[in-house]
Structure 1
Amino acid sequence: MHRETDAPPPTTDRAFPAHCAARSRGLDDMETQLIRCRACPRLVEWREEIGAARRAAFRDWEYWARPVPGFGPPDAALAVIGLAPAAHGGNRTGRMFTGDASGDFLFAALHTVGLASQPEATHRDDGLELYGVRITAPVHCAPPHNKPTPDERTTCRPWLARELELLAPTLKAVLALGAFAWQALLPVLDDAGRQVPRPRPAFAHGAEFTLPALGDDRGPLHILGSYHPSQQNTFTGTLTPDMLTDLLARAARLAGLNRRR
C-alpha cells in the first residue's frame, strides 16, 4: 500500500514530472507516465491546437498531440538528444524526429553510419530500428516557434534525467544536437554526480569532452556537440550531411558501436 505522499500529483501539476520520473521502474514505465503529462499549459495548448487544426498535407492524420517519448533500445550505448518534437513531425507521428525534414536529415546520417535500419522515418510503425542508439529530447512537447522556455525545460528535466539514469549501465557517449540540448544536458549530468568541468564547456559543433568514470559500474562518458539538423542550419549549409555523419561516426566509435557501412 502506498503512503498518501506517494500518490502522484495531478498531471497538470508542475511536480508531476519529477514525481513520476523518479518512480519509473524502466523506460516503458516512464513512457506510460510521460505521455500523460500536462504540466506546461502553453505547450499543452499548442500541441493540441496543432493536432486539431492539422496541416493540409496531413489532414487525414490523427495527430499524436501528446508528449513524445524517446525511442531506441533500453541498453543503448549512445544517446542523441535533440530539442523538442516538431509541430507537424513528432507531434503528429508520436516519435522523435519522425515525419519532418530534420528527421530526414538525421536518419539518413544514422543509416549511413550503420546505426539505423533505414534512412527514412515516416511513422511509428514504419519498421525503423535503431542499433545501440536512443533518441530523446529535453522537452517532450512541441513548442510554439520551436522555442521552449527555460522554465518549460526545467519542468521537463526530470524525464531526461531519469531516462539517462536508466540508460547509465550501458551508456558511453551522448551527442547533443544544438545549444539548447547541450545546456539542458550538463545540469542533468551534474545532478547525477558526474564531474562536469567548471566553467562548463561551451557548445560548438564538434565540441567534445569526457567525464570520468563514476564508481565501479559507470565508465567514462563522452559528450559531443553538433549543430541541430534544423532546416535553418541544413538549408544554409551550416550543417552538411558529411558534418553530421562524421560526428555520428565519431560518437559511435567512442560508444563502441563500430557499424559504419
Structure 2
Amino acid sequence: MSSRSNSSASPCLLEIFPVEILEQIYLYSENPSFALVNKQLFQGLSSQSTRLRFCVRLFSYGGGPAPYENNERAEILRHAQTVVFQQPWFSNNFAQKLQREVLRLQKVPERIVDPRRYRTSRHVRVVSLTQIPRELMLQKPWGPAKVKLIHRLLKWGAVIPTRPKYIARDAMMNAIVENRYLAVNLLHKYGEVRFHHKHFQAAILVDCDRRIVEMIIESNNSQPRPFLDPFDRRIYERAMLMESAGNPMGRQILKDVLWKGNEREFRSR
C-alpha cells in the first residue's frame, strides 16, 4: 500500500525544488515537454525569459559541436527543435529575440546582426533535415509575420517538408489563392517548392499579381519537361478575356504558354 502511494506521489517530487533549480533542470534537459509535466511546472517555467534561455541553449547545441546528421544526439535535438517550432508562443517576434540573444552571447557585433548582411544560420543552429511543422506551413493566412518566420527558419537551416507531398503543394496553393507574392517567392526560391499546373490555373482564375504569373511561366519555360498544359481551355478563355480587357498579361499567356508559336494547332483542338 505504501509503495503504491509513493509511486503515485513521485511524479510531483520536482515541485519541492525552487524555481531556479527547476529552470536549470529544464535548460539542460533539452526537452521542451519537460515544462508540461504538470500545471505547477508549467506555471514556473512558462515565462518568456525562461523559454528564451531554453531556446538559446537548444539552438546553440548547448555550446557543443554540431552533431552528425543521423546519430542519436542529432535525432534528440531535431525532435526538440521541431517541438519548439510547433509551440504557439514560437512567433516571429520570439524568433527575432532568440536570434539577437544568440548573436549577443556569441559576441557578434551589433552592426552585422542584420540578417540581410550576415548569415545568422552560423550561430542560430538548426539540426540538418529539421522540418518546418506542417501546421505552420498550412496555417492561414499567409500574413507578413508568417512569411518572416518561415524565411527566418529557412535561413537557420530548417527545411520545408517533402513528405507527404501535399504539404508543400497546398502551402503554395494557399499563397497563390491569397495573392501573396512574397509568400510565393519565398516558397519557390528559398524553399524550392515546385509549381504545378493547378497553381497556374489558380493564379489565372483569381487574377493574381502579375509577378506570380510571370514566375510560374518562367519556371515552366526553364524546365526540360514543362508542367503547364498548353491546351487548357479554361486558361485560354481566361487569357482571351484578359486580352479583350486590355490586360497585357492575357497576350503573354497566349503567346508564352498556350500557342507556343503554333496558334493554328491550338485552335484546331
Larger Rg: 2
Query: Looking at both structures, which has the greater relative contact order when contacts are Cα pairs under 8 Å and sequence separation is at least 6?
Result: 1
TM-score range, shorter chain: under 0.3
TM-score by length of 1: 0.24
TM-score, structure 2 as length reference? 0.23
Higher helix fraction (1 or 2):
2
